[in-house]
């Protein structure tokens, strides 16, 4: 007889898989993989020599010019946090804690599955307020694959999430204007260019 914790674990895995596959976004998420982003082809924003460190891995990112590192404080889900110096935008790295599901062989493309898993979490939180802004995009830098999606988040502000793997772990790297200060002050294309410049350095 299976122990109760094992039964519950299997149950929650089934719920997560069902939620992702039943999402109307899942079967419309395939896109052609390419080198660099078609939507944001420039990845040349200046980066400083200052380094930000992931809390859960050996992944590091150079801090962009005009940005600062921040401490997540009590928010233990944030792995790495960057804030624009005028507080108008933020970028944060979060580890996706479902590696066993991604590697379970349920789907061929684990990166696509991770992207849909990440998006489903946003849909669950926002409900009818969730609005897709761009088609999903898959591209590569330095032979490393990335997936990205954009949506309208809180207060109608655009959010771009990039999904990738690093040494067996799955991460989402989000860029978004801050709710109070960023409204009307941040050019999303410029913000997402900064985001692209950072992920282009990941090996």
Q: Is the model more confident about 156 or about 191?
A: 191
Query: Which pLDDT tens digit goes with each residue over 29-65?
Result: 444 444 667 788 778 999 999 999 999 899 999 999 9
Q: At 124, is the secondary structure helix, strand, or coil?
A: helix
Query: Which pLDDT tens digit goes with each residue over 117-164?
Result: 999 999 999 999 999 999 999 998 888 899 999 999 888 889 999 999
Q: What pLDDT shows up at residue 176?
A: 94
* Region for residue 85 given its phi and psi (left: phi exceeds 0; alpha: psi -120 to 50; beta: otherwise): alpha
Structural domains for the chain = 4-199 (3.40.1000.10)
Query: Which pLDDT tens digit goes with each residue over 72-85?
Result: 776 678 999 999 99
Q: What pLDDT shows up at residue 105?
A: 55
| Res 7 pLDDT > 80 | no
Spatial separation of the C-alpha atoms in residues 141 and 144, rounded to whole Å? 5
Q: What pLDDT shows up at residue 160?
A: 97
Q: Is the model more confident about 107 or about 100?
A: 100
| Res 102 pLDDT > 90 | no
SS (H, E, C) the chain: CCCHHHHHHHHHHHHHHHHHHHCCCHHHCCCCEEECCCCCCCCCCCEEEEEEECCCCCCEEEEECCEEECCCCCCCCEEEEEEECCCCEEEEEEEECCHHHHCCCCCCCHHHHHHHHHHHHHHHHHHHHCEECCCCEEEEECCEEEEEEEEECHHHCEEEEEEEEECCEEEEEEEEECCCCCCCCCCHHHHHHHHHHHHCCCC
- What pTM was computed for the model? 0.79
Q: At 56, is the secondary structure helix, strand, or coil?
A: coil
Mean pLDDT taken over the chain: 80
């Amino acid at each position: 007889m299976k122990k109760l914790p094992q039964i519950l674990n299997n149950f929650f895995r089934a719920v997560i898989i069902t939620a992702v596959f039943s999402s109307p976004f899942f079967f419309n998420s395939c896109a052609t993989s390419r080198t660099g982003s078609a939507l944001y082809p420039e990845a040349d924003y200046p980066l400083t020599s200052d380094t930000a460190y992931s809390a859960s891995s050996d992944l590091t990112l150079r801090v962009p010019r005009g940005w600062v590192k921040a401490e997540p404080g009590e928010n233990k889900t944030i792995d790495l946090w960057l804030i624009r110096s005028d507080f108008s935008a933020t970028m944060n790295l979060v580890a996706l804690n479902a590696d066993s599901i991604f590697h379970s062989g349920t789907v061929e493309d684990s990166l696509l599955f991770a992207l849909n898993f990440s998006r489903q979490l946003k849909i669950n939180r926002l409900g009818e307020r969730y609005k897709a802004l761009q088609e999903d995009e898959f591209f590569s830098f330095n032979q490393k694959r990335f997936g990205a999606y954009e949506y309208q988040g809180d207060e109608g502000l655009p959010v771009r999430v990039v999904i990738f793997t690093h040494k067996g772990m799955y991460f989402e790297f989000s860029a978004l204007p801050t709710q109070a200060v960023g409204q009307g002050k941040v050019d999303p294309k410029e913000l997402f260019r900064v985001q692209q410049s950072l992920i282009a350095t990941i090996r």
